[in-house]
């Protein structure tokens, strides 16, 4: 099916619905994300923010709607039909454009830091060991952990683990990076080092960055656009200045008041 995709929109989600049994997680959700845009998803827990990232990473399917990533259709399901499943090869193709960093790190505990970062580039991108290791060292340098190259995940602090996880995702050379509450499992004093890596990344790269976060100040400083979600729908979105300083909706005001008072 030929779908008209303006090249400036790298992620398009249209009328996406996602349910777990009776629970509706996303309802008729529309999101467009521009190439190289940095977007922060905020909102109370259970509002469906993480689900969006998991759908894009193909870790979850959708019940209906349409998802197009970088011009390739991941889902095109009408309500009630199962839609035509795309081939494994196409899923592989789409996934190769996206990297994801998880709240709980999910490093491979039986592999050294180096191997955590080189495993997929060697297996999937078919890089030679030398190339993959060279790249891994550069990435570790970028996240400030070159001295941990031979360490095992269990020997690292939470902040260090998350920085390795970022390097691991970057090693796959994605166009889009998804960050799913990557500081939520960290002790408060370790949050800053991870956010610093993210800030530098945002400055240096032209990748599209999509993050779910509870760090409001960081989101305000980092993102081009903030999307505030509640109960599976977008309540309000806009530039950080606009959303944080002049929220239009009552619900947005209440949410911001609650979280900003807490921090």
Q: Which residues bind another protein (CB under 8 A)?
A: 57-59, 92, 95-96, 98-100, 102, 104, 106-110, 119-120, 123-124, 154, 168-169, 172
CB 194 within 8 A of CB 182: yes
Nearest CA to 16 out of 54, 62, 60 is that of 62
Spell out the long-range contacts of 244-247 with Cβ–Cβ below 8 A and sequence spacing 24 or more. Answer: 244/216, 244/220
Phi and psi angles of residue 45, each rounded to the nearest 5 degrees, phi first: -65, 145
Cβ 53 to another protein shortest distance, Å: 10
Report, in Å, the least distance between residue 242 CB and another protein: 32
Nearer to another protein, 172 or 226 (CB): 172
**Largest CA-CA distance found in the chain, in angstroms, rounded:** 55
Task: Compute the CA torsion angle 26, 32, 34, 38 (nearest 10 deg).
Answer: -30
Residue closest to 230 by CA, chosen among 253, 263, 211, 246: 253
The distance of closest approach from Cβ of residue 55 to another protein in the complex, given in angstroms and rounded to an integer, is: 13
Q: Which is nearer to another protein, 14 or 58 (CB)?
A: 58
Based on CB atoms, which residue is closest to another protein, 129 or 217? 129
Query: Of 27 and 72, which CB lies nearer to another protein in the complex structure?
Result: 72
Q: Which is nearer to another protein, 27 or 152 (CB)?
A: 152
E-only strand ranges, the chain: 9-20, 23-34, 38-42, 64-69, 72-77, 98-101, 176-180, 208-212, 225-230, 233-238
The least distance separating another protein from the CB of residue 249, rounded to whole angstroms, comes to 33
CB of 244 to another protein, least distance (A): 31
């Amino acid at each position: 099916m030929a779908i008209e995709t303006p090249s400036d929109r790298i992620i398009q989600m249209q009328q996406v619905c996602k349910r777990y049994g009776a629970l509706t997680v996303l309802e008729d959700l529309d999101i467009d994300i521009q190439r190289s845009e940095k977007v922060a998803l905020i909102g109370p827990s259970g509002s469906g923010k993480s689900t969006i990232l998991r759908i894009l990473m193909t870790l979850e399917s959708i019940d209906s709607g349409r998802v197009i990533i970088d011009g390739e259709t991941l889902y095109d399901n009408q309500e009630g039909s199962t839609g035509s499943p795309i081939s494994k090869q196409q899923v592989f193709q789409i996934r190769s454009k996206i990297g994801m960093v998880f709240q709980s790190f999910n490093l491979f505990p039986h592999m050294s830091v180096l191997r955590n970062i080189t495993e997929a580039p060697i297996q999937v991108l078919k890089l030679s060991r030398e190339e993959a290791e060279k790249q891994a060292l550069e990435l570790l340098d970028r996240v400030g952990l070159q001295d941990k190259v031979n360490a095992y995940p269990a020997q690292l602090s939470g902040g260090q683990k998350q920085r390795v996880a970022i390097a691991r995702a970057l090693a796959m050379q994605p166009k889009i990076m998804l960050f799913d509450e990557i500081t939520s499992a960290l002790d408060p004093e370790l949050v800053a080092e991870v956010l610093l890596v993210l800030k530098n990344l945002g400055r240096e790269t032209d990748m599209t960055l999509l993050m779910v976060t509870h760090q409001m100040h960081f989101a305000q400083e980092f993102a081009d656009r903030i999307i505030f979600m509640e109960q599976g729908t977008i309540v309000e979105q806009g530039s950080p200045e606009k959303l944080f300083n002049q929220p239009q909706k009552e619900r947005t005001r209440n949410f911001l008041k609650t979280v900003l008072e807490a921090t």
